[in-house]
């Protein structure tokens, strides 16, 4: 997964500044990001604090790791099924 240029606290600070009344296009220009990225941040992280955001990222990473384990186990099971299905 691509590493973000912005830390969790920087993203939350940008969201708070927008809520405080700074216009989104001006804020995006200042940060050097597109407005689409800003609205993605708002949809994903709106209403969170730093600890919640960190916990969410930890859970996403754990979920990614578990999904990979499931795929590996399914692949092993298919290989075993194919081996057992062959006639000797």
Read off the pLDDT of residues 40-84 as tens digits, 9 standing for 90 and up: 999 988 888 888 988 998 999 999 999 999 999 999 999 999 988
DSSP state of 21: T
Q: Burial level of 11, CB count in 10 A (0-12/13-18/19+)?
A: buried
Tokens encoding 36:
């689409």
| CA pair distance 9, 72, nearest whole angstrom | 35
Query: Which residue matches tokens 């609205």?
Result: 39
pTM: 0.65
Residue 29 has pLDDT above 80, yes or no: yes
């Amino acid at each position: 997964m691509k590493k973000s240029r912005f830390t969790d606290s920087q993203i939350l600070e940008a969201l708070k500044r927008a809520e405080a009344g700074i216009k989104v296009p001006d804020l995006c220009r200042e940060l050097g990001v597109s407005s689409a990225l800003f609205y993605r941040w708002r949809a994903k992280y709106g209403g969170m604090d730093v600890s919640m955001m960190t916990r969410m990222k930890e859970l996403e990473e754990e979920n990614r790791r578990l999904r990979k384990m499931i795929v590996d186990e399914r692949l092993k099971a298919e290989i075993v099924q194919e081996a057992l299905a062959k006639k000797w």
